[in-house]
Structure 1
Amino acid sequence: MIQKPERVFDRVREWQGLAGFVTPRRRTVVIPGATLGVVSGRRRQGKSFLLQALAEATDGMYFAATEATEAESLRLFTEALTRFTRQVVEIPFRDWNDAISYMFRAFSGRAVPLILDEFPFLCRASPALPSIIQRELGPGGSGGESVARLILCGSAMSVMGGLLSGQAPLRGRAGLELMIHPFRYRDAAEFWGVTDPRLAVLVHAIVGGTPAYRYEFTQGDVPESLDDFDSWVVRTVLNPQMPLFREARYLLAEESDIRDPALYHSVLAAIASGNATNGGIANYVGRRSDQITHPLTVLEDCALVRREPDLFRSGRARYRIVEPLITFYEAIMRRRWPELEIHRAETVWRAVRQTFQAQVVGPHFEALCRDFALDAGESVFGGQPAEIGAGVVPDPANRSQIEVDVVALAAQEPGRPRRILSLGEVKWGEVMGRHHLGRLARARELLEKKGYDTRDAVLTCYGGSGFSAELTAAADGDSRVALVGLDRLYG
């Protein structure tokens, strides 16, 4: 296995996948010819950094495309090939038909990665490029004479997602499909060097697990303590002189499928304000529900928004912004943008800090608790969850509804009721008490009547501000009650 460089933080599984694609250790059948890998992920996640490290470790070729015409891109690609192979291309490439054919033949005896980064830029100028690659990888193509490991990488999620889907030319051709995700919350805290769990939640609620924000976008500035957090927000994300200040706007502008930024910002603002259902978003934006279906689909394709189904009500769903920085921008910055641009960050932050706690940190903490539940497994719930989410339980007798923030379901077994492993309540800004446990118990009772298997369901309280003595006493010695505080969340 190719050794992962020390400068690459974490990304162990991603590196193993890339290394295994380049130099597979075990093969029952030898597959001749070049192979294709596709690496994708949202911007700033370290894809290029990872692939450059792979190219260096394997003596492979790395070419980063730019926004350019086809002629210029071919010229830059030719120069990169010449530098790498040390062989002059005697006849200039007329188009990508010549370039891809030459590339594969140039690596007929070298099983090394050939990385084409920012591949969507090339496709934009040359839409036929995926078809050309497909042909050369197919029977009779130049890829049959090569052992190259071609890796296509890009951040335009709508483009990269379409490369291998449906009737796309490259569908079925890839031997590697690798998605580079942001660091998960524990890894993000380690990456930022934040050891205080409460501070870790606050920082993650703004910058999430995006690696680039740690150094390139904040110049390595990390809050030293909880007391320094407010000052850190003012001097980084709310500072017009820092790259992080306009980043959320750029994330939306960089997506080619978004042609009406005003509408998309309004949709995101609706979600950030707590209007997470299709009807709620439509009312906030001032459009009919059917008029926001397309924007929501585009935002999902761009991996900026996620549709999360209600686990107890079929056909119901809520939308959640995936990138925390966009939530922070829409809920906090966008409304006060003129003031922030003239360096009034301290005044603005004092005015919106409560909004930050309620609309940003609270919902974000819920998402972190669902991540915790996904990993908790048998140690907490007595079984491995197959599905994690949230759900609403109707309570007709009390003419109300019970929102369950964290639901852990076991795998569905044919002919048997769906087993609930855990029902969870999440509170960030208040001490949790016995009444929170009572709500969960009522939800468990109602779900049992609806036909769910709740015999072993663990009632879990996730508290960002701790638990009352009464609740702590109730949980002691009861295997069907669990308390998850910040220390346990990050433990």
Structure 2
Amino acid sequence: MDKPVEMFDRGYEWAALDRFINDPQPGATLGVVSGRRRQGKTYLLDAACRVAGGFYFGATEATDAESLRRVSTALTEHVRPASPYHFADWAEAVDALLALGAERPVPVVIDEFPYLARANPELPSLIQEAFRPQREQRTGSRSRLLLCGSALSFMGRLLSGNAPLRGRAGLELVVRPLDHRLAAEFWNIADPRLALKVNAIVGGTPAYRREFARGDSPTGPEDFDAWVIRTVLNPETPLFREARYLLAEEPDLRDTALYLSVLAAVADGNATRGGIAGYLERKATDVAHPINVLEDAGLLQRDSDAFRNNRPTYRIAEPLVGFYHAIMRPVWDQLERPGSAARVWQASRRRFTNNVLGPHFEQVCREWALHHADPELLGGLPARVGHGVVHDPSARTGHEVDAAVIGVADGAKPPLLAIGEAKWNDTMGIAHIERLQHIRELIARAGKYDTGRTRLICFSGAGFNDKARSAADASSDILLVDLPTLYGQGS
């Protein structure tokens, strides 16, 4: 299938759909497509149906009977049979969908499938039965049925454990946000410092530029503050309330106030379970369930400490949600009043730098090391990149490591390819390098990792002084990574 020229990127996802839809093997096949809201799943699947002559049905929140009537009407318009369809149940409807592929492979999309399954919990089992291996309606069909959904907790359970559809799917495709480099290209921002500041607020969600900001991008670094005021902090734009709606749209989040408070705790810098519990004035055991639910919903991300076992930390996975809790929620009443955005933003810029921009820069640095850095630069292919705290017994203190690049273990100990420190607003110098050298010695004494080839990385959004550059020139173990490097614009 030829990808539509107006579709930005998504080449990997389009190719996966192309292979699945045009698979020449006989028999109907099942695929599952998931991803957070606003990532372009509907656009992607609808385009595939238009290109391949398939059938697309978008479910809505409705009773089971109403949804059956809607799919009957939609399929009647698509097939135009001699008499209209009036499905008595979903078993009959699914067989009609399989019949669409009687002559050729054809995509059949049911979007927002969780809506249908909540109204009729038996639906996954009915589809399981329809896809029974030797069933005639399946073997005689080449329909490529694609179930799509944004409720990550539900979609994650659809193919797991003892779920009815486990083992039935031939495609499991996750449509993810654009990474920081693609997001900069999508927002048409060439300046890497400006690109990262915008990315710290809206992340890589395509809809936030096209539909929510109506194509409004900052015209340059000097326009950033004005852009924040006229888009994200403007009560007239959809971006203003989007973070609140993202939480409300998750079906598994019952006690909204509790989940909001957990996210607020993390946005305020309380990254551990104990810190979250302390912020909420509850026991650590009381926050375990809401943390797990927010993880399943894709709103919280758990990060293991690279140096201490059983010490996970949490971060907000969606930048707009983090921005809302750090900047908007504490002064929501003021922001709702027209004309207050400029005043609020002026008073919030330091908090934005410390609570939003700094942590986001660190995360982008880790993602660069994992996904973009040349393995030769790091001395090997990273298996994972994390962060953590290294204990210093003599000083009775801990040293935070913003990036720990761990390689593939081929011996008793996994190799620690690199450790890094990230500073958004600081010009980094020799003191930062010496600190990393000291931390490397502490890690070597602890004996958990092989540090024989561990390199030291300084990530800076403000650049490096002459002493740091001289040290890097003199040693291949020292790497200086600036914003142009993070964005693939040179070293």
Q: Same fold (TM over 0.5)?
A: yes
3-state DSSP class of the match of 1:52? helix
Of 179, 185, 193, the residue aligned with 1:184 is 179
- Cα distance, 1:89 vs. partner? 4.9
> Contact 2:100 / 2:143 at 8 angstroms: preserved in 1?
no
Larger mean CA deviation between 167-176 and 80-89 belongs to 80-89
Determine the structure 2 residue equivalent to 1:365.
361
Letter of the aligned partner of 1:274 in structure 2? G
**In the alignment, which residue of structure 2 is the partner of 1:297?**
292
Runs of 4+ with deviation above 6 angstroms: none
User: 2:115 maps to which residue?
Assistant: 121
Q: Per-residue deviation at 1:107? A: 2.8
Farther-moved stretch of structure 1 (88-97 vs 205-214) = 88-97
1:484 aligns with 2:481: yes
Distance 1:238 1:355 in 2: 15
Question: 1:425 is matched by which residue type in structure 2?
Answer: E
Contact 2:102 2:143 in 1 (8 A): yes
Partner letter of residue 392 of structure 2? D
**CA displacement, residues 262-297 of structure 1 (integer Å, 9 cap, x when unaligned):** 110110011111100010011011111011100011
Selected match of 1:337 from 318, 332, 340: 332
User: Which residue of 191, 195, 198 maps to 1:200?
Assistant: 195
Shift of 1:90: 5.0
Q: CA deviation at 1:159?
A: 1.1
Match of 1:46 in 2: 40
Q: Secondary structure at the match of 1:214?
A: helix
Q: 1:164 aligns with which of 153, 159, 165?
A: 159
Give the Cα separation in 1 of the matches to 2:68 and 2:281.
46
Structure 2: segments with no counterpart, 5+ residues = none
Looking at structure 2, the residues matched to 484 and 91 of structure 1 have their Cα atoms a distance apart, in angstroms, of 62
2:266 is aligned to: 271
Change over 3 Å in CA distance of 1:89–1:299 after alignment to 2:
farther
Distance 1:428 1:332 in 2: 19
Cross-structure match for 1:443: 439
2:169 is matched with which residue: 145, 152, 174?
Answer: 174
Partners in 1 of 2:198 and 2:5 — Cα distance? 25
**Aligned residue type for 1:96:** W
The alignment covers a number of residue pairs equal to: 484
Name 2:450's counterpart in structure 1. Answer: 453
In 1, the alpha carbon distance for the partners of 2:309 and 2:374 equals: 25
Q: How far apart are the structure 2 equivalents of 1:215 and 1:53?
A: 17
Cα distance in 2 for residues equivalent to 1:89 and 1:237 = 50
> Unaligned stretches of 5+ in structure 1?
none
1:290-333 deviation line (CA, Å, top 9, x unaligned): 11100011011111111000011111110011100000000000
- What is the TM-score of this pair, normalised by structure 2? 0.97
In 2, the alpha carbon distance for the partners of 1:386 and 1:232 equals: 38
In 2, the alpha carbon distance for the partners of 1:403 and 1:485 equals 20
Residue 377 of structure 1 and its aligned partner are, at CA, apart by: 3.5
Would you say 1:112 and 2:106 are equivalent positions?
yes
1:20 aligns with 19
Counterpart of 2:55 (choices 45, 61, 64) is 61
Q: Find the counterpart in structure 2 of residue 356 from structure 1.
A: 352
In structure 1, what is the Cα distance between the partners aligned to 2:414 and 2:108? 48
Matched, 1:229 2:228: no
8 Å contact from structure 2 (residues 35, 149) kept in 1: yes
Aligned runs of 1:81-160 on 2, under 5 Å? 81-90=75-84, 92-138=86-132, 139-140=134-135, 142-160=137-155
Give 1:106 deviation, angstroms: 3.9
Equivalent residues of 2:427, 2:463 under 8 A apart: yes
**Aligned-pair Cα RMSD in Å:** 1.2
- Deviation string 1:8-53 (CA, Å, 9 cap, x unpaired) is 110111111000001137xxxx4x3210000000000000000111
Q: CA deviation at 1:126?
A: 1.2
Deviation at 1:142, TM superposition (A): 2.4
Contact 2:112 2:148 in 1 (8 A): yes
Q: Which residue identity is paired with 1:471? A: A
* Aligned equivalent of 1:320: 315
Aligned AA (2:21): V
- Are 1:434 and 2:430 an aligned pair? yes
Letter in 2 for 1:293: A
With structure 1 as the length reference, what TM-score do the two structures score? Answer: 0.97
